[in-house]
Amino acid sequence: MQKNAIVPYILIMAFGIGLIFFLSLEGVGNEAEIAEEHAAEEGGGEAAEGEGGEEAASGDFDPAATAEASCVSCHGSSYEGGVGPSLVATELGQDEIEEILINGKGTMPPGLVPEENVAAMAEWVLSLE
């Protein structure tokens, strides 16, 4: 009789493990969707740019505001790493950072920084200490 009492618990545990597995698959391969969402948020017009803080009042690009909006979720609030690697005192050069910002790398989607602002963003990343 005790054997039969254990079966429901095993079934519940198996269901829970299966549910976790299938939910984890939901996020796999969504890099393109994430990039599109970011592009849609950024391309929402002048009001969206002002709300996101990515451009200063004068219309100049603000790398710190862009990083706050797009980078902290993966690189951490102090940019010392999280899901993504640390950006602080990186060993990458200007060209390598620009390449990653344009084309993405690993789970980082491309296009998070407008191409005309990639050089300024790369310089800002290199300034982090």
| Start-to-end CA span in the chain (Å) | 65
Q: Annotated binding residue at 108?
A: yes
Three-state DSSP state, 1: coil
Question: Which tokens sit at 42?
Answer: 């950024």
Q: How many CB atoms lie within 10 A of CB 75?
A: 22
Q: Annotated binding residue at 74?
A: yes
What are the angstrom distances between the C-alpha of 42 and each of 20, 66, 69, 113, 115? 32, 10, 10, 9, 13
Q: Annotated binding residue at 75?
A: yes
Q: Residues annotated in the binding site for heme c, as ranges?
A: 71, 74-75, 108
Q: Residues annotated in the binding site, as ranges?
A: 71, 74-75, 108
